[in-house]
C-alpha cells in the first residue's frame, strides 16, 4: 500500500541514525508484520517470530543508554518507531512499552546494582518488563492502592493484587507500586516501588483477562501473598519515593500510546483512501463523491496534527524539561483522533469494513484501549487544565 512517507519522516537530534531506523522499521512492518497481523490477532497468539525480530533490531533498548547495551536514541525517534509498528499491529507496541517504561525508571531512579542487574536484559528484550499500578480499587486514583510491603529482616513481605498488567503472563521483572507506610499523610509519602522477579515465593499470576482488542500481549491479574522480595529490590534503595518514581514513567507510556494511536489512525486512513478510489457507486469511484472527500480531508488533517503534537511532546521529554502538559495534550488528542478515524474508515468501507476480511475492524477494536490506557482521557483533561492554571495563574 502506498505510504505518505514524506509527511511521516522525522527530523530529530539523532540525525541520520534516527531516520534510518524508522525507515528500516517501516519496511519490516510492511514485509513481516502486516501480512501476519490479522491471523495472529484473531488466533490470540503471541507473535514469537515478530518478537524475535524486534529484539534483533534493538527496539526494546532504543532509548536505553549505550552503557547498558541500548541504542541511546531519543524519545522523538522512539515515537516514530512506535507509530510505524502500531500501523502494522498496535498490540506489538504494548510489548515494547513496558520494557521502555521500566528501563527509564530504573535508569533514572535505581541503584547502580539494580541498573547493572536489570537494564541489559530489559534493553535486549531477553527480559520482559511489567509495570503494575492498577488494582481493583485503584485506577485513576493511583494513591488509593492497597498493596502493602512490610519489612521482615533483609526482605519485604508484599501483600495485595494488581490488575490489568500488560505482559503479566510472560513477565520477568514486575515494577510494583506498594504502600510501606499505609498511614502516611499525604498518601504519596507512604508509597514505595519494588522490582518483583518471576519465581518470587508468594507471587502468582491469577488469570489472564479476555479483551475486546489489544491482542498479542496478554493482560493479567497478579496476586502477592506474603511475597518475599529482597530489600535490594526496593527501587532506589529508599522508602517513600515510589509514587514519584512510578508516575514519572507514565509520561513515557503516554508518548507510546499517543504514537500508537497515530499509527492506527494512519493505517485506517491508508486503507480508506485506497478503497475510496477503487470502489465505485453510481458509475464513478466513491472518492469523487463530496461526502467521502470531506471524510478523507478531516482524517488526514487530524492525523497530521496528532503526529506533530506527539513528536513535539517527545522532544520536550528529550529536553529534560517538565513535559506532563505536552504529553497529556498529545495523548488526549491522538487517541481521540484514532477513535474518530477508525470509525470513519469503517464508514468509507461500508459493510465490508465491518467484516473480518479486512483489518478495519481490528483498528476499530484497538482504538478504545488507547483512550483509557496510561491514564484515561478524562484524567488527561484534568492534568492539562491544572497545569494550564499553574502557567496562567492570575495574581
Tell me which of 76, 107, 135, 374 is the catalytic residue: 374
Give the pLDDT of residue 13: 74
- 5 pLDDT higher than 60: no
Q: Which whole number is the average pLDDT over 151-178? A: 97
Give the pLDDT of residue 1: 47
Give the pLDDT of residue 198: 97
Residue-wise pLDDT tens digits, 293-316:
999 999 999 999 999 999 999 999
Give the pLDDT of residue 109: 98
∠ CA 20-314-318 to the nearest 5 degrees? 90
- 2 pLDDT higher than 70: no
pLDDT band for 11, please (50, 70, 90 cuts).
Answer: low
> Global pTM?
0.95
Listing DSSP states for 319-355 in one string gives: HTS--HHHHHHHHHHHHHHHHHHHHHHHHHHGGGGGS
Q: Where are the beta strands (DSSP E) in the chain?
A: 129-132, 148-152, 155-166, 173-179, 191-197, 203-208, 219-230, 280-281, 284-285
Q: Which whole number is the average pLDDT over 181-209? A: 96
Give the pLDDT of residue 139: 86
9 a catalytic residue: no
Q: Which whole number is the average pLDDT over 89-116? A: 98
Q: Which whole number is the average pLDDT over 84-90? A: 98
Give the pLDDT of residue 181: 97
Give the pLDDT of residue 88: 98
Q: What percent of the chain has pLDDT over 70?
A: 97
Q: Which whole number is the average pLDDT over 164-178? A: 97
Beta bridge partners of 205: 222
| Domains assigned to the chain | 5-124 (1.10.540.10), 129-240 (2.40.110.10), 244-391 (1.20.140.10)
Residue-wise pLDDT tens digits, 231-263:
999 999 999 999 999 998 999 999 999 999 999
Is the distance from CB of 123 to CB of 68 less than 8 angstroms? yes
Amino acid at each position: 500500500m502506498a505510504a505518505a512517507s514524506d509527511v511521516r519522516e522525522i527530523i530529530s537530534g539523532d540525525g541520520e541514525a534516527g531516520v534510518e531506523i524508522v525507515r528500516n522499521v517501516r519496511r519490516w512492518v510492511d514485509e513481516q508484520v502486516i501480512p501476519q497481523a490479522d491471523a495472529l490477532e484473531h488466533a490470540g497468539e503471541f507473535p514469537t517470530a515478530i518478537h524475535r525480530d524486534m529484539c534483533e533490531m534493538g527496539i526494546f533498548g532504543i532509548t536505553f543508554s549505550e552503557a547498558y547495551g541500548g541504542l541511546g536514541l531519543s524519545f522523538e525517534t522512539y515515537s516514530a518507531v512506535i507509530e510505524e509498528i502500531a500501523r502494522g499491529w498496535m498490540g506489538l507496541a504494548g510489548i515494547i512499552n513496558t520494557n521502555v517504561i521500566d528501563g527509564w525508571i530504573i535508569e533514572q531512579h535505581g541503584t547502580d546494582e539494580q541498573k547493572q542487574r536489570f537494564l541489559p536484559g530489559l534493553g535486549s528484550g531477553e527480559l520482559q518488563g511489567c509495570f503494575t499500578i492498577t488494582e481493583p480499587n485503584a485506577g485513576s486514583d493511583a494513591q488509593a492502592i492497597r498493596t502493602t510491603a512490610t519489612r521482615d529482616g533483609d526482605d519485604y513481605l508484599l501483600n495485595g493484587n494488581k490488575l490489568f498488567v500488560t505482559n503479566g503472563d510472560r513477565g520477568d521483572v514486575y515494577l510494583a507500586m506498594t504502600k510501606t507506610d499505609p498511614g502516611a499523610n499525604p498518601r504519596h509519602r507512604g508509597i514505595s516501588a519494588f522490582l518483583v522477579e518471576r519465581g518470587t515465593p508468594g507471587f502468582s499470576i491469577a488469570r489472564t483477562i479476555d479483551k475486546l482488542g489489544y491482542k498479542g500481549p496478554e493482560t493479567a491479574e497478579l496476586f502477592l501473598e506474603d511475597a518475599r522480595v529482597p530489600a535490594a529490590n526496593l527501587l532506589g534503595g529508599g522508602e517513600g519515593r515510589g509514587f514519584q518514581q512510578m508516575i514519572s514513567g507514565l509520561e513515557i507510556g503516554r508518548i507510546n500510546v499517543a504514537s500508537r494511536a497515530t499509527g492506527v489512525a494512519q493505517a485506517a486512513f491508508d486503507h480508506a483512501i485506497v478503497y475510496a478510489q477503487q470502489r465505485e457507486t453510481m458509475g464513478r469511484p466513491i472518492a469523487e463523491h463530496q461526502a467521502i472527500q470531506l471524510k478523507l480531508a478531516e482524517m488526514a488533517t487530524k492525523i497530521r496534527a496528532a503526529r506533530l503534537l506527539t513528536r513535539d511532546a517527545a522532544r520536550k521529554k528529550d529536553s529534560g524539561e517538565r513535559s506532563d502538559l505536552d504529553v497529556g495534550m498529545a495523548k488526549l488528542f491522538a487517541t481521540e483522533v484514532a477513535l474518530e478515524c477508525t470509525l470513519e474508515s469503517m464508514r468509507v468501507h461500508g459493510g465490508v469494513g465491518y467484516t473480518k476480511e479486512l483489518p478495519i475492524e481490528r483498528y476499530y477494536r484497538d482504538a478504545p484501549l488507547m483512550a483509557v490506557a496510561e491514564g484515561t482521557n478524562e484524567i488527561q483533561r484534568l492534568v492539562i487544565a491544572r497545569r494550564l492554571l499553574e502557567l496562567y495563574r492570575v495574581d
